[in-house]
Amino acid sequence: MTPDALAKRTLSIARSQRQSDQGFVWVKGDLIGKGTFGRVYLALNATTGDLMAVKQVKIPDSANGSNQELKQAMQSHYSEVETMKDLDHVNIVQYLGYEVKRNVANLFLEYVPGGAIGNLLRRHGRFEEPDIKWLSKQIMDGLSYLHRCGILHRDLKADNILLDLDGIVKISDFGISKRSGDIYANNAEMSMQGTIFWMAPEVINNVRNDERMGYSAKVDIWSVGCVILEVFAGRRPWSNDEAIGAMYKLGSSRQAPPIPDDTKEYISSVGKEFIGLCFTINPEKRPTADDLLKHPFCEVDSSYDFSKTKLAEYVRFNDRRREKKWNISKQTEESGSKS
């Protein structure tokens, strides 16, 4: 099956699931991810038999709650719902519905069985260049769509990019994303958001300097460069630096994360050029997602077959691990409806 056919099939399935989730009974399964304030569970739509992911955040008690961080997490959760509910692209995790029940907010999302690219890296190590080109094309397609919708993601990293069993990329986690009327105009109101090792220099400088210059959607392009470097190296960018060291090199020295010595031999000249373009220090000269989609690194060889790659084996292995953990109890059955 061609890449385009795979993408169309995947999107068709997700859309049909979304349309069927107007009202449903669901059953909560095992924990598959967690953050500071929220948890993600595997779930079953008992009405259709489809698997879903449900992202849960506990709503703070307005009468007694004084935890400002928890309130901010709840605001981030609401923001994610507002951002995702109108998105419709094969390389973006599909929004399926939302409900609040017993002081818990539930965000229902398309289940992506391969899991996060970050987890695959930690378990299996670096990826091969043909696979990285396959992923890069899809990441840029998804990012181009977001930017056309006026959305800055602001937290692109391997842990927020998922992969399904067919090798289709799904950009996830929109908790700190931001809408902008002009995504390429610097917005002085932008705060320091994201994860330091994947941040662009202008994000750091926006909080270091007294004069706030702001930043634009070009920060997402820098983060893509960090992700590409991450999958080539098998570890995060700035892997030899702590956060404070990376901040100094980004903000004061205006350096890009270096390609590790043990990684250079695995990257072609085309790949190095692509990464270098993403790491253009001046954001005004940094290319857009549409520009980078025209780069040779985003051209996938016609003979490439994801199903026959080692990466496909890793994804299937990860899915089998989850199947073994899958243990639904009827006692956890809950009803929900899309809002």
Q: Binding site: what residues are annotated? A: 55
Place of tokens 């995060």: 236
The span from the CA of 304 to the CA of 2, in Å, is 9
Binding residues for ATP: 55
The span from the CA of 189 to the CA of 237, in Å, is 27
Burial (Cβ within 10 Å: 0-12, 13-18, ≥19) of residue 282: exposed
The span from the CA of 318 to the CA of 113, in Å, is 8
Q: Cα torsion at 193, 196, 201, 207 (round to 10°)?
A: 50
Phi, psi angles (nearest 5°) of residue 322 = -70, -35
- The two tokens of residue 55 are 């992202």
Q: Cα torsion at 189, 195, 201, 203 (round to 10°)?
A: 0
Q: Which residues are catalytic?
A: 155
